[in-house]
Structure 1
Amino acid sequence: MENLNEKIKADIRVPVGLSVPEVVEFIRRCEAAGFHGVGVHDHHHSGRDVYVTLALAASRTRRINLYPATSNTVTRHPLVLAALANSLEEVAPGRTFLTLAPGFLSVESAGESRASLKKLREYVLAVRRLLAGEAVYSKGTPMRLRNRPRRHLPILLTASGPRLLQLAGEVADGALMLVGLHPGSIAAARRYLRIGAQKAGRDPQELEEIFIVPIAVGDREEVRQWPRKWFREGQPWMEYPSRSNLRWLREAGIDLPEGLDPRSISGDLADRICEAFGLFGEPEHCAGRLLRAREEAGVEHVFLFPAHDYQSGYQMPMAELEAFERVMASRLG
């Protein structure tokens, strides 16, 4: 963890919800607003490619970190991922990295199943070795990159459950993790990272931690209705992207059964969930909640994940950008 005297690094999720040139202009606004980084989702079914978008954004920005959030190892072969990562590093040296996961909407839209933990482990290690200049065998065929990054290019696992967190500690450079902001939840998540690191004989202190933080900026009473909504039919918002959210809420003293109709959640309970899970309210409140998370749990790097459902997932996070620009950036240092 970093020195608590330093500012909180804040990244934001940006969808490819507009044409690629328009998304690039939005990313330029994020840089001007003071964001540390931008993660763009890797959704093939959008008809727009994340790496093309990131490369163009890299050529139009100077400082901001740029990365896919998140690529999967099902629809992209490890050799392809390694080549994409190296290509992006050549355009934006020192300000990019990979985030990988078993897959969700992109895999689903391609009619495929998510990668098993065994396969994900194998593919993450393959990408790491390729980026390090090593040969990797695929069905008996040796693969090697002719060109590779001059520096160690980090690979983080996007993790929302204990097994993925352990795997991140074992084979990745850290985790982009959705575990909430409650100190009890964060302590539990860090235990799983530590278990994985120790299994591989690694130092847990060397792992990068980026906390995925759901955010909804606006009138407090209105935005704190999110836990009472559906992400899509049959999937409560609180179980997106997985039911692991409920595990971390239990660590925060909030016990919700799986499959609970979100409409049965009371206003008071929704308020408690929002306070434990993310940033919900006016910009001043959101900034203050992050500062408290730093003091209580050493949170130093966050990935702001604007609250959305299945239909609104491609809307540009304009309200969050403006709130950060006007209030949050100065409050966070």
Structure 2
Amino acid sequence: MRIGLLPGARRDAMNLADTVRQVVQAENDGFDSVWFPQMSGFGFDALTIISMAGVQTERIELGTAVIPTFPTHPLAMAKQALTAQVACGGRLTLGLGLSHKPSIEGTMGLSYQHPLRHMREYLTVVRSLVDDGSVDFDGQVFQVKSDINVPGSSPFPIVTAALAPRMLRLAGEMADGTVTWMAGVKAIGSHVVPRIREAAEAAGRPRPRVIASLPLAVTDDPSEARERAARTYNRYGQLANYRRLLDIEGVEGPSEVTVIGNESQVEQQLRDFASAGATDFVASILPVTRDREASAVRTMEFLRSMVGRI
């Protein structure tokens, strides 16, 4: 199982140059990948920072986890992603997602109607542009006829934030995998993996990646860590897409799927994810205890020791 990072646990992550340096350090430490979310109103633009980090690294995979599709036309998305692919020398994985109805409609004032149809057509257009260099598509949501030429670009993998059954089926049929958030071991093994693998097999596609991402803290005080996780991540339990996963897991809130424990306990939890079918685990480091810097360092050192061992 590949081990990746979601940067941002350290206070200096709000500094653009230092965020890029975190990616460089992750490559030097041997991590397999670094992933960036696209938040609607704060943080850096994911593909822009991947482009910046890409020119300063040589090996590490750089991915988005994920970029909401509703605010960006697929032609514009394809062009920006192909540009980032050039900047990082062919190491981009584009993660796309629907986001959530309260964000798309409440915050942005856009329609969230027919999300499955929207994603199917979006993937069709982006795939055609990225893989073939042109698209001629007349759908119900998108009508796009265009060539695309980004010098030096090459096709890249596309994963989606597929969580619900129909979205997992679509991911298996059309994407290279799924990247999840708030999916515990049970949800990965009993819900995500069998559905996406079955769809991929039926479509004649290669076995898809299942990229499980969760907060993680290495600590000797799990109770304190879970209290902090509850305060930090409780809002995710209020969103329908994540609530479904938590219900499958049989837990009340996000703190109960956060990966917490000492080194041996967390190692076992990571091995459980691998056994459940996760191909990748991407950690969002959760600093705990009063010395947050020391906590983040301990967790980072542990994760570094796990690369290539699971």
Question: How would you bin the TM-score normalised by the shorter chain?
Answer: 0.7 to 0.9
> Structure 2 CA distance, aligned partners of 1:305 and 1:187?
23
> Structure 2 CA distance, aligned partners of 1:83 and 1:68?
15
**1:159 corresponding residue in structure 2:** 162
CA shift for structure 1 position 35 = 1.8
- Say whether the 8 Å CA contact 1:178–1:245 is kept in structure 2: no
**1:4 corresponding residue in structure 2:** none
SS in structure 1 at match of 2:134: coil
**Residue deviations 1:261-293 (CA, integer Å, cap 9, x gap):** x6xxxxxxx9xx73xx34112344222321243
Q: TM-score normalised to the size of structure 2?
A: 0.80
CA shift for structure 1 position 34 = 2.5
Whether 1:88 and 2:84 are equivalent positions in the alignment is: yes
- Aligned residue identity for 1:281: G
> Structure 2 CA distance, aligned partners of 1:240 and 1:217?
29
Distance 1:194 1:149, change over 3 A: farther
* Gap regions ≥5 residues in structure 2: none
Distance 1:226 1:117, change over 3 A: farther
* Gap regions ≥5 residues in structure 1: 1-7, 257-261, 263-269, 309-316
- Say whether the 8 Å CA contact 1:103–1:114 is kept in structure 2: no
- Aligned residue identity for 2:123: V
SS in structure 2 at match of 1:242: helix
**1:279 corresponding residue in structure 2:** 259
**2:46 corresponding residue in structure 1:** 50
Whether 1:124 and 2:104 are equivalent positions in the alignment is: no
SS in structure 2 at match of 1:291: helix
- Aligned residue identity for 1:117: L
Distance 1:90 1:320, change over 3 A: farther
**1:300 corresponding residue in structure 2:** 279
**1:36 corresponding residue in structure 2:** 32
CA shift for structure 1 position 84 = 1.2
- Say whether the 8 Å CA contact 1:185–1:248 is kept in structure 2: no
SS in structure 2 at match of 1:243: helix
Residue 73 of structure 1 is aligned with which of 69, 73, 86?
69
**1:14 corresponding residue in structure 2:** 7
* Higher deviation after alignment, 120-129 or 297-306: 297-306
> Structure 1 CA distance, aligned partners of 2:136 and 2:297?
45
**2:269 corresponding residue in structure 1:** 289
> Structure 2 CA distance, aligned partners of 1:140 and 1:167?
20
> Structure 2 CA distance, aligned partners of 1:179 and 1:163?
18
> Structure 1 CA distance, aligned partners of 2:269 and 2:228?
17
Whether 1:187 and 2:190 are equivalent positions in the alignment is: yes
Q: TM-score normalised to the size of structure 1?
A: 0.75
> Structure 1 CA distance, aligned partners of 2:7 and 2:240?
18
- Aligned residue identity for 1:112: L
**1:170 corresponding residue in structure 2:** 173
- Say whether the 8 Å CA contact 1:34–1:325 is kept in structure 2: no
**1:209 corresponding residue in structure 2:** 210
Whether 1:26 and 2:22 are equivalent positions in the alignment is: yes
- Say whether the 8 Å CA contact 1:284–1:328 is kept in structure 2: no
CA shift for structure 1 position 240 = 7.7
Aligned CA-pair RMSD: 3.2
Identity rate, percent: 22
CA shift for structure 1 position 102 = 0.5
SS in structure 1 at match of 2:92: coil
- Say whether the 8 Å CA contact 2:193–2:278 is kept in structure 1: no
**2:108 corresponding residue in structure 1:** 110
- Aligned residue identity for 1:159: A
